[in-house]
Amino acid sequence: MPGVAFATYRESPRLTDDDQLVADVLGQRGVDVWPVVWDAADVDWDRFDRVIIRSTWDFHLEPEVYERWIRGFLRRPARLWNPPAVVLANLNKRYLIDLARQGVQVVPTVHVAAGGEQSLPSIIAGQGWAEVVIKPAVSASARGTWRSSAAAAGADADAFARQCRAQDMLVQLYCEEIASEGEWSIVFFDGEYSHAVLKTPASGDFRVQRHFGGTPVAAAPAPRVIEQASSILARIEGRLLYARVDGIERNGTFVLMELELNEPFLFLSLSDGAAVRFADAIARILEDPPA
């Protein structure tokens, strides 16, 4: 009987409610699903037909350990999904800079490497921005993310410098559309559009995550938005089991905020049939022999 591992993390080692929906569908088809903590000791990952990264939501706390775990699959890349090379390229959000250079519409972003000496006031002044969002380049769940502005840059300079000494950082233009219109999360399985949600922050906040009071609702993006999100995925080399394309609409154009290829929450419970579509995609990759 085929067996699939859903990689989880220590604080929540079991399947999420969303992932249980997929496991139930696969179980009805004779495919066993096991939740396995990604950094648990002495796990023989080769015993599973496929390993699917799901709720590895502490990866940013030990990024070097996580990267070593991902690299361990490079000798057998078809066993891990998304593929290890894709995940490794997606861990640091500097990929936004690379996509912008390829012509993708990306929220204006400045990347500062760890130990870099660019000051917050000089970055904001150099870009001519009024308000910005600051975040670690390797992060999840908006950890370490905060706002500043041209007016507050001097007072915030030391806090920014402390973060830069420890890790790569991003400074991004604050996009008011997040509060006024919401941020899209557009979900694809095996390259095909599945569903989408529109996320809005709590009043007075800018973060759309649920634990900060954000609210996701099922919504249908315009076909042009889906096409633009799909065109971004087309720039990623290799097959993708899942992808979540996050962004806003600005003047009729989809603007990318993040491309989630590592451990995205997929909002399966908010879309009828989404769990089945994800299970279908997993079944298709199980049909291919692992490399």
The whole-model pTM stands at: 0.93
**pLDDT by residue (tens digit) across 121-158?**
999 999 999 999 999 999 876 678 888 999 999 999 99
For residue 237, pLDDT beyond 60:
yes
Nearest Cα neighbor of 172 from 98, 97, 229 is 97
- Residues spanned by the domain of 238: 95-101+177-261
pLDDT of residue 210: 61
Looking at residue 140, its pLDDT comes to 75
Looking at residue 203, what is its pLDDT? Answer: 61
Residue 223's domain is classified under what CATH number?
3.30.470.20
**Banded model confidence at residue 90, pLDDT cuts 50, 70, 90:** very high
Structure token pair of residue 80 = 């891990």
Q: Is residue 242 over pLDDT 90?
A: yes
**Is 198 within a domain?**
yes
| Average pLDDT rounded to a whole number, residues 26-39 | 97
Surface-to-core class of residue 221, CB atoms within 10 Å of its CB (0-12 exposed, 13-18 middle, 19+ buried): buried
Residue where a domain stops, chosen among 173, 193, 228: 173
What is the average pLDDT across 265-289?
Answer: 94
pLDDT at residue number 117: 82
Asked, for residue 267, whether it belongs to a domain, the answer is no
pLDDT surpassing 90 at residue 213: no
CA 262 – CA 56 distance, rounded (Å):
9
Q: What is the DSSP string of 134-172?
A: EEESS-STTTT-EEEETTTHHHHHHHHHHHHHHS-EEEE
Give whole-number Cα distances, 122 to 47, 105, 192, in Å: 52, 24, 42
pLDDT of the residue at 206: 61
Residues contacting residue 68 through CB under 8 Å, at least 6 positions apart:
none
Total number of domains constituting the chain: 3
**Residues 153 and 219 grouped into a single domain:** no
Q: Residue 139: its pLDDT value, please?
A: 84
What's the pLDDT score for residue 289? 65
Q: What percent of the chain has pLDDT over 70?
A: 93
- pLDDT for 211 beyond 80: no
Q: In whole angstroms, what is the distance from residue 141 CA to residue 129 CA?
A: 25
Query: Do 123 and 157 belong to one domain?
Result: yes
Is the peptide bond between 82 and the residue preceding it cis, with omega within 30 degrees of 0?
Answer: yes
pLDDT at 116: 82
Contacts of 79 (CB under 8 A, 6+ apart): 45, 46, 48, 49, 50, 51, 73, 290, 291
* Helix residue spans in the chain (DSSP H): 17-28, 63-71, 84-90, 95-101, 120-127, 153-166, 177-180, 223-233, 274-287
